[in-house]
Amino acid sequence: MTALINVPETAAQGEIIEIKVLLQHPMETGFRTGPDGKLVPRNIIHSLRCLYLGEEVFAAELFPAVTANPFFAFTLVADVTGEVEFLWVDEDGEEHRESRLLSVA
């Protein structure tokens, strides 16, 4: 699964930085009918969490109303140099993980 994650490389201490996440996923709602007339099974990302310094700073709970290839933008307060982790759970309950290093001057 591909994810486009945008975290600034550097930030000043106390600065509020914006983070953008774009996940590649069909977000199949489970309400659509396929060519065979049967409902296409639901296949969505259920949650996205963002951890900074091991602490949750932001999380989103997704429902079928979120578009295909979900996009999120949110903020966090830069404190010290550390990893920003992104964890998202798909329909099978499998957790995917990506991380970016944030350098705080």
By CB under 8 A, tell whether 74 contacts other proteins: yes
Q: Kindly state the DSSP code that residue 80 receives in the 8-state scheme.
A: S
Nearest distance in Å: CB 9, other proteins: 18
Stretch that binds other proteins, among 3-11, 60-68, 92-100 (CB under 8 A): 60-68
By residue count, the chain amounts to: 105
Q: How many residues bind other proteins (CB under 8 A)?
A: 31
* CA 105 – CA 99 distance, rounded (Å): 19
Q: Which stretch binds other proteins (CB under 8 A): 5-13, 64-72, 86-94, 96-104?
A: 64-72
Kindly state whether residue 44 participates in binding other proteins, applying the rule CB under 8 A: no
Q: Which amino acid does the sequence have at 62?
A: L
Identify whether the C-beta of residue 23 lies closer than 8 Å to the C-beta of residue 69.
yes
